[in-house]
Amino acid sequence: MRFCAPKFRLDSPPAHLYNILRKALTHQDNQGSVYFSNLLRFPDMNRFNTPKRLTVSFLSAFYNILWGIPQYNQLSPTALQICQKKLKLVALQGPRTEKALVQVSTSACNDKVPMLIPEIADYSVSYQYIDAAKEFRKYSVQWLADYSKHVQSITTPIFDENQFVSVMNDISMQQTLTALSLDRGNTPLFSVSIPSGCCQD
Q: pLDDT at position 1, please?
A: 44
Asked if 194 and 111 count as a contact pair (C-beta separation under 8 A), the reply is no
> Could you give the CA distance from residue 62 to residue 56 in angstroms, rounded to a whole number?
10
* Binned average pLDDT, 10 residues per bin, the chain of 201 residues: 63 90 94 91 95 95 90 76 89 77 81 74 84 92 90 84 95 94 90 67 51
Q: Which amino acid is at 16?
A: H
User: For position 105, what pLDDT does the model report?
Assistant: 87
